[in-house]
Amino acid sequence: MKRWPVFAYLLLLLTSGLLLAAAFPVRLFPWLSGWWLLLGYSLFLFLNLRYTALKLYHFKGLVLLTGSLLVIVLGAYRYLQCKQDLQSDYFPNYKPDCIKVCINTEPQIKNGVTIFKARVLEAFGKGHHYPCSGTLLVALKSNSSPALQYGDELLIRAKYKIVGSPANPFEFDSKAWLGGQNIYTRCFLQPRDWILKKRHQGNPLVEFALNLRQQQIQVYRKLLKNEEAFTIASTLILGYRSELSKETLDTYSRTGTIHVLSVSGMHVGLIYLVLHWMLKFMDRRKILKLFKSLLIVGLIWFYALLTGFSPCVLRSAIMISLFILSKTLQRQSNGLNVLAFSAFCLLFYDPFIFFDIGFQLSFLSVFGLMYLQPLIQAWLKSRHLLLRKGWALIAMSLAAQTATFPLSIYYFHQFPLYFMLSNLFIMLPASLLMYLGIVLLLLRMPFLATIFEWLICSSNLVLKWIAELPFSSLSGLWITKTELFLLCCGLTLMVLGLEHYQKKTLFAALTVLIFLEISVATAKIDHYCQKKLVLFKLSKNYAAAYIKSDKATLFTDVDPKGIAFTYSIKPCLDQNQVTEIHFKFHYPDVKKIKHL
């Protein structure tokens, strides 16, 4: 049996400490000190230096356990150290009247409202001002004043509110979502509630990159006439997702190709291949080869900066940088170890990245490609080149989907049935779009823009056709955290059993999956026999649902196509597996709506 890479174990231990601290932050915070941690690591280092002299080889298990506990404690310490609402200078502790903030993300404008995250610098109240910390989600009504941008310093009224739990059952949990970004307060401001004090107070490098990205977006805006082509080009090449329509996102999500719209490892890998090919002439001399590697790494990190340093791009940049370095130094590198090392570095720097859904799916997808794809590809061997290449693409799609589908079901409650067809189709167009998009930004030729736009629109038409096929996706798939855990355990045991031909492991996998099936079947029976009344809390409307089996009678004045129904009422009905709704309200033309 192959031994797992060292950093895979360290990553597992660090993550365990992080989750432990996330579960019990208040209890752990008072006694977990950096001095205790430093003392523990100093003692562990001393014991390892004196390993032979003290004959510690007789106590290998104890030494390994001590080292493991120290890594777990390190993960917990880093989480508590970064958690803003536990810090003594957290701005709500001062109960301020006004606060000074600096915009630390690119502002997004949606429906006349400007939204951004802001780092709190100072709190003002009762004639005093205090340096403080914290991050605030700000939404302000757009007006005719100068457009806000990254690095702007504002003085705003302290009209913030602590983010609360969802008011309705199974409604989107903004508290958990923002808490995963280390944000616990938000505010909505009118034009009279804020004043622009200074500009260019952020990181100069980030500001330069964001301005450069805006310039490239304007190039696309000028050259591409089709609005949908423009938004996909901006997202695919530059990671600018602000203007993507809900219809486009639904199409890519239902076909299992949403990863194409998320700048990630595929995009960084394509850039590496192009740069490696363009600079191949520098491989003739050793010093030029070293310069080539440094240049490629620098350009990849500049691209990561240009896309806003998203976690999946950071992971890809770290991995490819290590790969290039090991190749230049003529060292062999273990892909899983490099993947685990990059995750370890990111989580140590910012433990809250762990709660980012994109981070989770990105790492699982790459893990599937590295670990599962070779196993699946070995199922079929052929001498024909075309068949081998086709099977390699199928194995890649199966590996990525297998690794990510438990979390996809848990978060998005759907599964694309035609994911293999969609991914086999989109791989070639996505690569061509990536290369054409970069060339278009460099040369800015109108005839290239026409080809680029046609390729985007054609790809979208095919994906829309696949999305509209019968049974294109299974929706309404709701599983609990316990069922998610059982599903992950069952899949892991099954893969290990098939890889090493272990009957006991396969039997354990079957047992776990049987427990999962019992849990799902029990929930299904409960929903079939259910009778309940649900009262919804809405700010401007009323709604109450009487649910009996898979049917519901909804008493409301809410528009069935409105936001209130989609985000506050429908999730509860979907989770209760309601397939037929009878509306009782003042819309005479709407008597019954069926949804699956």
How, if at all, do strands 161-162 and 414-416 pair? Answer: unpaired
**In a shared domain, residues 369 and 492:** no
Q: Are residues 145 and 119 in the same domain?
A: yes
Both tokens of residue 302? 């500049």
Does residue 126 lie in a domain region? yes
Give SS3 for 139.
strand
> What pLDDT is recorded for position 586?
57
> Does 429 share its domain with 517?
no
Q: For the chain, what is the domain count?
A: 5
Q: Which helix (H) or strand (E) holds 125?
A: strand 113-125
CA-CA distances (angstroms) from residue 365 to 307, 360, 372, 378, 463? 20, 9, 10, 19, 21
Asked if 224 and 128 sit in the same domain, the reply is: no
| Domain hosting residue 380, numbered range | 208-475
DSSP state letter for 166 = P
161 exposure class (CB count in 10 Å sphere: 0-12, 13-18, 19+): exposed
Q: Residues 322, 435: one domain?
A: yes
Q: Are residues 380 and 463 in the same domain?
A: yes
User: Domain for residue 244, yes or no?
Assistant: yes
Q: Residue 179's domain is classified under what CATH number?
A: 2.40.50
Question: Which residue matches tokens 């299974």?
Answer: 474
- Quick one: tokens of 435? 């290369």
| Within-domain flag for 182 | yes
Asked whether residue 460 is assigned to any structural domain, the reply reads yes
Written as tens digits, the pLDDT of the chain (596 aa) is 456 778 888 999 999 999 988 888 766 565 666 666 777 777 777 777 777 777 777 777 777 788 888 888 889 889 988 999 888 899 999 889 999 999 998 888 887 788 999 999 999 988 788 899 999 999 988 765 568 889 999 999 998 999 988 888 888 888 988 998 999 999 999 888 899 999 989 888 888 888 888 888 899 999 998 888 898 888 888 878 767 777 888 888 888 887 777 777 667 877 887 788 888 888 788 888 888 888 888 888 888 877 767 666 777 788 788 778 777 776 666 778 888 888 888 899 889 989 988 888 888 888 888 888 888 888 888 788 788 888 888 888 888 888 888 998 998 888 888 888 888 888 888 888 888 888 888 888 888 899 999 999 999 999 999 988 888 888 888 889 999 999 999 999 999 898 888 899 999 999 999 999 999 999 999 988 999 998 888 888 888 899 999 899 988 888 888 888 888 898 999 888 888 888 886 544 444 444 43
Q: What is the pLDDT of residue 589?
A: 42
Pair of tokens at residue 459: 């790809």
The domain boundary, picked from 82, 110, 143, lies at 82
Contact 251, 473 (CB under 8 A): no
Instruction: Judge if 167 and 218 occupy the same domain.
Output: no
The answer to the question of residue 41 being in a domain is yes
**CA 224 – CA 234 distance, rounded (Å):** 11
| Residue 147 CB contacts under 8 Å (≥ 6 apart), including other chains | 107
Report pLDDT for 400: 84
What is the per-residue pLDDT for 88? 86
In a domain, residue 1? The reply is no
Does residue 54 share a domain with residue 27? yes
| Domain co-membership, 458 together with 516 | no
- Tell me what pLDDT residue 513 has: 93
Same domain membership, residue 99 and residue 65: no
**Which of 202, 231, 246 is where one domain is finished?**
202
Per the domain annotation, does 275 fall within a domain? yes
Position 179 in a domain: yes
String of DSSP letters for 404-462:
HHHHHHHHHSEEETTHHHHHHHHHHHHHHHHHHHHHHHHH--HHHHHHHHHHHHHHHHH
Q: Which of 475, 507, 539 is the last residue of a domain?
A: 475
Domain check: are 351 and 253 in the same one? Answer: yes
Compute the distance between CA of residue 145 and CA of residue 114 in angstroms, rounded to an integer.
12
Judgement on whether residues 173 and 44 belong to the same structural domain of the protein: no
Question: DSSP 3-state helix, strand, coil percentages of the chain (rounded to 5)?
Answer: 60, 15, 25
H-type helices in 255-384, by residue range? Answer: 265-278, 286-306, 311-328, 335-349, 357-367, 373-377
